A and B are shown apart, each in its own frame.
Chain A
Amino acid sequence: MTDITKGAIAPPRSFLSQDAIQLFYRLLAALLICAVLAVLSDSFLSLGNILNVLRQASLTFFIASGLTLVVLTAGLDLSVGANVALSACLAGTVIHTTGSPVLGILTGLASGGIVGLVNGIMVTALRIPSFIATYGMLWVLNGLTYWYMAGETLHGFPAGFRQIGSGYLFGLPIPVYLLLVFLGIGTFFAQRTVWGQEIYAIGANPVAARLSGIPVARRLLLVYAVSGTMAGLASIIFLSRLNSAEADIGESLTLPAIAAVLIGGTSLFGGVGTVFGTFIGALILTLVLNGMNLLAVSANWQPLVTGVIVILAVWLDMKTRRRAQ
C-alpha cells in the first residue's frame, strides 16, 4: 500500500464550532442592545417591560421556530401569517359554538398542521418551489379566511382560555413558559435526533441527501407540517391574548418571523442555522422595537430599522463564513 499524507489543506480550526461562534456573537449583540437601552431609558429595566419583551418575542418565536426548520431545508414558508389568521378564526368559532377551549385548541393546531401538510405535498409530490407554493397558499388562505369571516370579528372567550396568552405563573407570563418548552423541543429535535440531522443534510445538498438514502420527500412533508402546526399554536396564543379574531390578524406576522430566522443566523440556502439562533433573532428584533417605543421614536421607522438589521446580520454571517472557508 502507498501512503497518502498530502491532500488536506488545513486551516487552523478553533475547537468551537462555527454555529457556536455565531450564537455567541448574537447573544453578545442582544446584551449590547440591552445595555444601551438600559442607559438610554429608565423604564427599560423594569420587570414589567422585560416580561413584555419576552412575551412579544415568544409570539414571533413560535411562528419562526417552525419556519426555521423549513429554511434549514433551503425552503421558505410564506403562508405562516395567513395560516395563523385562518387557524385563529376556526379555533375561535369552535370555542364559541361548543364552549370547549380544548376542542378549539385542537382545531387550531389541526388546521395549522393540515395547511402545512398541503404545503409539503405541493413541494414534494408536485415539485413546486416552496417559495411559490406557499406564496400561492398565502393568497388561498387569505381568501378562505375573508370569505369565512365575512368582515365579522369573533370576541369574548372563556376566562380560562384567555389565561394562555395573558396569564401569569409564578410571576412569569405563560407564553414565556411555552417559549422555553418549545425552544427546548426545537433545539432537541434539530440537534439530537436523527430526523434533525437528516433535515440539515437535505438543506446542505438535497441531491446528495437523496442519493445517501435519506427519505427526502417524507422529511420535507414533516418539516412543512411542523411549520404549519407551530403557526396553529401561535394562532391559539394570539386568540387568547387578543381575546378576538379577525381575518386580517396574520398580515403583519410572516415578515417579522422571516426576519427573526435570518437575524438568528439561519441561511436561506439551507443546511446552516439553529432554533436557538432564531430565538435570539426574535429577541433582538423585539428588543429593538421595544427600545424605539420607549425612546418615543416614531413607529414609522420600525420597518426600516428591521430591514437594516436583517441585512447587517446576514452580511456579517456571510463575511465570517467566507473567512472560515
Chain B
Amino acid sequence: MSDALRIEVTSPTPLLELRGISKEFPGVKALDDVSFAVYPGEVHMLLGENGAGKSSLMKVLCGAYRADAGEFYYKGETVAIESAADAQKLGIAVIFQEFSLVPHLDIAQNIFLGREPKGRIPGTIDRRKILADAKRVLDTIGFDIDPSTTVDKLGVAQQQMVEIAKAISQNARILVMDEPTAALSDRETELLFALIGRLKADGVSIVYISHRMAEVFALGDRITVLRDGRRIDGVKPADVTPEQLVRMMVGRNVDMTYPRNFADKPGEVLLEVKGLSASTGISDINIEVRRGEIVGLCGLVGSGRSEVARAIFGADPVTSGEIIFDGKVISGEPDLAARRGIALIPESRKSEGLALLRSVSDNLVVSALKKLFPSGLFDQRSAQRTADGLIRQLRIATPSARQTVGLLSGGNQQKVVIGKWLAAGSKLFIFDEPTRGIDIGAKSEIFALIDRLVAEGAAALMISSEQVEICHVCDRAYVMREGRIAGHLTRNELTEENIVRLGMHHA
C-alpha cells in the first residue's frame, strides 16, 4: 500500500461540513441526521452497502437533491446548497459512474461545454483559444492527449480523465467520485491513484465512494460508514481492520472468504470451444468446462471476455470455430442456446438482464415460459407459484412476486437474473461480472448459490475483474489478452500475480 499518498490532515476547519442532513422519500428515509466533514486535501472514503445512502448524500452534495433538514458550512460559514449552481459555486464537482460527456464533440468542447470562449463572429467559438485552454487543463492533470480528439474515440479511463479535467477547469475544490475504478483496468487504476495524489497535493479534497476494501486502505485519509441512511462511524484507516469496516457496513459479521466446496474430481465435459473467432474481435478461443466446475475467465477490461461469453451464447455471430455443448455442435441465436441449457448472466443487469418495469414474477419466468407452459397457454397463477418458489429458494428480498423488479437492490436484482435461468433448468451458467455493484453480504450469497449449482451437476464460466474472487472461487481459469486466450491457470497456479502477469500487455 502506498503510504506516500497519505498526508497528515492538519487543517482544523473543514472545507465543507454537513450537519444533521435528512432526506426522505415516500416510504424511505434515504438520509437520517447524517453529519459529514471534508478537510482540504484529503481523500474521504464513503462506505456503505447499496441503499445505505451514499448516492443520496452525493446528490445532496451536488445540489441534485434538496435536503429536508440540516446545515451546510463552507470554511466554517453557513451556506446553502439548493441547486446544482450553488454546488458549483462552492467548487463541488461530481464524477458519476455514467459519464455526462457528449460523445460526438471533442475533448476541448466537452471540457468547456456551455462556457466556450466566444469567437469574433457572434455565435462562433474561438477554436484556437478553446484548444489552448483545454491543453492547459489537461496538462495540469498530466493527461497527454490531443484536445481535438472526439470523445467517442476514448476509452472509459480516458473519458474519466476528461470528466476530471472538466471539473478542474471549473475550479473544483471538492471532487466527488462514485466508484471511479469500477470499469478501469489495474494499470488505469494506478494512473488514477497517481492523479488523485497530485490533486491532493494541490489541496483538492476528494470524496470517494468505493466497494473495494483494498482501495479504501490504499487511498483513504478518513472513512465514513453509512448504513440504512445513518452515519455509523467516522474512522481513520490506521485504526480499523477490513473486517471491522465490513461489520459496520452490514451491522453483523460477514465471512469475507467466499464459500466453496471444491469437488475432488470434475464431471464430464459440458462445454468445449474449439478455435472460436467472432467479428467482435476474439480469435482462436479454446475453452473447456466440465460439470461441477467453476472456470474463471479473466483478463483486462476490453480483452474480449464478454465477447467470448456472448459468442458462446449466440448473441454475436461466430466467424469460425466450433462450440460443442453436451456432446453436440451448436450454433444459432440466443433462444437456441437457452433452450439447450446455456444461461448468460450479463454484465449490465439493468440494461441487458432485466425488464426493470415488469414484476419480479414476470422476470423470473421469462426464460422458462416454454418449459413451464408447454401447451403455449400462459397461467399467471402458476407463474406466480414458480416465482414464489424461487424467491424463497434464493431468498430474494421483495415484498411480493408482483413487486416491480427495478425497485429491488442490486444484489436482489442479480438473484432474479440468476433465478430466471434456474427456472429454465440451465446446465451451463455464464456469469459476466456477477458481483459488480453488489454489496458484500449479497456477494457471498451469490457465490454460495453458484457453488450449490455446480455441486448439483451444473457448470459455470465466470468472468470477473475481481481477481480475489476468481482466486477464491474458481477451480481453474483462463486468462485473456487482446482477444485471445493468453494462458490457463490450474487451481494451484491461480494467484492474483499470475492472472496479472498473463493478462498484461507486453508492448
A residues with CB within 8 A of B: 1-13, 17, 191-198, 200-201, 204-205, 207-215, 217, 271-272, 325
Report whether A210 and B315 are in contact in the complex, using a CB–CB cutoff of 8 Å: yes
CA A7 – CA B259 in complex, angstroms? 22
B403's contact among A10, A193, A204, A208, by CB below 8 Å, is which?
A10
A193 — which chain B residues lie within 8 A by C-beta? 376-378
Do A197 and B315 have beta carbons less than 8 Å apart?
Answer: no
Q: For B335, what are the chain A residues with a Cβ–Cβ distance below 8 Å?
A: 210, 213-215
What is the minimal beta-carbon distance from A306 to any residue of chain B, in angstroms?
Answer: 28
The reply to whether B378 and A196 form a contact with Cβ atoms under 8 Å apart is yes
Known: A2-B445, A213-B335. A7 touches B378 (CB 8 A): no
Chain A residue nearest in CB terms to B337: A213
Residue A2 contacts which of B228, B344, B351, B441 (CB distance < 8 angstroms)?
B441
Q: Of B346, B379, B445, which contacts A4 at CB under 8 A?
A: B445
A299–B376 Cα gap in the complex (Å)? 47
The answer to whether B313 touches A211, judged by C-beta atoms less than 8 angstroms apart, is yes
- Which of A4, A11, A201, A205 is packed against the most chain B CB atoms within 10 Å? A4
Q: Bound state CA distance, A167 and B406, in angstroms?
A: 51
Q: Give chain A residues whose Cβ lies under 8 Å from the Cβ of B344.
A: 211
- Rounded to whole Å, the gap between the CB of B233 and the closest CB of chain A is 18
Q: Is B182 an interface residue (CB 8 A)?
A: no
Q: Are A12 and B27 touching (Cβ within 8 A)?
A: yes
Asked whether B397 lies within 8 Å of A6 as measured between CB atoms, the reply is yes
Question: How far apart sit A83 and B50, CA to CA, in the bound complex (Å)?
Answer: 52
Does B356 make an interface contact (CB < 8 A)? yes
Contacting chain A: which of B83-91, B283-291, B363-371? B363-371
Q: Which residues of A contact B499 (CB under 8 A)?
A: none
A-B contacts, 27 listed (Cβ < 8 Å): A1-B448, A2-B250, A4-B411, A4-B412, A7-B50, A7-B412, A7-B442, A8-B398, A8-B407, A10-B398, A11-B407, A12-B27, A192-B379, A193-B377, A194-B373, A198-B369, A201-B362, A204-B358, A205-B351, A210-B333, A211-B315, A211-B353, A212-B366, A214-B335, A215-B333, A217-B333, A325-B406
| B252 is an interface residue with CB less than 8 A from chain A | yes
Question: What per-residue 1/0 map shows which CB atoms of B237-277 lie under 8 Å from chain A?
Answer: 00000000000001010110001000000000000000000
Q: Are B228 and A6 in contact (CB under 8 A)?
A: yes
| Residues of B bordering A, CB below 8 Å | 26-28, 49-51, 228, 250, 252, 254-255, 259, 313, 315, 333-335, 337-339, 344, 346, 351-358, 362, 366-367, 369-370, 373, 376-380, 395, 397-400, 402-404, 406-409, 411-412, 420, 424, 441-442, 444-445, 448
B362 to chain A, nearest CB (A): 7
Q: Shortest Cβ distance from A74 into chain B, in angstroms?
A: 11
Please give, as numbers and ranges, the residues of chain B lying within 8 Å of A205 by CB-CB distance: 351, 354-356
Could you tell me if A204 and B407 are in contact, using CB atoms closer than 8 angstroms? no
A128 CB to closest chain B CB (Å) equals: 20
**A272 engages B357 (CB within 8 Å):** yes
Residue of B nearest to A323 (CB): B26
A204–B366 alpha-carbon span in the complex (Å): 12
Contacts of A214 in B (CB 8 A): 335, 366-367
Q: Is the CB of A212 within 8 A of B27?
A: no
Nearest CB on B from A14, distance (A): 10
Which B residues are in CB contact (< 8 Å) with A210? Answer: 315, 333-335
A9-B28, A193-B376 known; A208 and B334 CB under 8 Å?
no
- Cα A42 to Cα B324 in complex, Å, equals 75
Closest chain-B Cβ to A270's Cβ sits at a distance in Å of: 10
A9 to B404, CA, bound (A): 10
Looking at A3, A11, A325, which has the most chain B CB atoms within 10 Å of its CB? Answer: A11
Q: How far is the CA of A212 from the CA of B368 in the complex (A)?
A: 9
Q: Which 9 A-B pairs have the closest CB atoms?
A: A213-B338, A204-B355, A7-B409, A215-B335, A7-B397, A10-B399, A205-B355, A8-B397, A194-B369
Question: What is the chain B residue whose CB lies nearest that of A192?
Answer: B378
Whether B51 pairs with A7 at a CB distance below 8 angstroms is yes
The verdict on A8 contacting B409 (CB below 8 Å), with A2-B254, A2-B444, A195-B376 known, is yes
| Chain A residues positioned under 8 Å from B380 (CB to CB) | 191
Check A13/B399 contact, CB under 8 A, given A201-B362, A215-B335: yes
**Residues of B contacting A325 in the complex (Cβ-Cβ under 8 angstroms):** 404, 406-407
- CA–CA, A182 and B246, complex, Å: 59
Quote the shortest CB–CB distance from B322 to chain A (angstroms). 21
Contacts of A198 in B (CB 8 A): 366, 369
A213 touches B409 (CB 8 A): no
Bound: A6/B230 CA distance, A: 14
A123 to chain B, nearest CB (A): 16
When the two chains form their complex, are residues A211 and B412 in contact, meaning their CB atoms are under 8 A apart?
no
A205 to B357, CA, bound (A): 9
Q: Which residues of A contact B398 (CB under 8 A)?
A: 8, 10
